[in-house]
Amino acid sequence: MPIGKTPSRRTGGRVRSQDAQDAVLAAAIELVEESGYQAVTIEGIAARADVAKSTIYRWWKSKPALVMDAYRTAVEQRMPEPDTGTVAGDLTAFAAALYGVSAHPVRVRTLRGLMAEAQLDPAFAEPFQEWVESRRAVVLTLLARGVERGELPATADLDAATDQFFGLFWYRLLVGHQPLDPAQAPGHVAQLLRGLGVPHGERS
């Protein structure tokens, strides 16, 4: 079942563990987006998902672990790894999808809240960082494919390029001084690729 839609309340019978896990993940996303991370409780998630609190603790050790697992699952569904055949195409598709969050004010507010929470709560910082690394890994994969295909120089600093890619996104998301417009994705990617030695950011 897609994240973001809680299944109807169950009236009996044995429910598969995967169904229950999906319900918990969906409930966690719904509640965080509705009320913010601080207001969410394991009890509230259990009630929304119609499962026992003890069931949740069998699968997740804490609220931070559950919330970020839910967010990771949701984002992976909303933004699958692109494979267009070129590094420019891949990065542009990923950036356009990333910037697309701007069309969903609730998701923007949620991302800002999660980032703030990660700075203030050490227990939340670790699962948040794991989620960030999972998203960085996607871009690193896209760039590495570009190197393998000869589109990018073997000496390119892929870690720095990945930070630059996400840096623009997070800065605009958090500061709000400029819009996050999917239509700007091709230009931003071309600029990034020029910095990596691709003339004019052209596609191969």
* The CATH number of the domain covering residues in 79-201: 1.10.357.10
Tens of pLDDT, residue by residue, the chain (204 residues): 444 444 444 444 444 688 999 999 999 999 999 999 999 999 999 999 999 999 999 999 999 999 999 999 999 999 999 999 999 999 999 999 999 999 999 999 999 999 999 999 999 999 999 999 999 999 999 999 999 999 999 999 999 999 999 999 999 999 999 999 999 999 999 999 999 988 765 544
Which is nearest to 204 in space by CA: 82, 83, 84, 86?
86
Alpha-carbon gap, residue 170 to 35, rounded angstroms: 22
* CATH architecture designation of domain 17-68: Orthogonal Bundle (1.10)
Domain boundaries, the chain: 17-68, 79-201
List all residues 6 or more positions away from 110 whose beta carbon is below 8 Å from its beta carbon. 32, 33, 36
Q: What is the pTM of this model?
A: 0.85
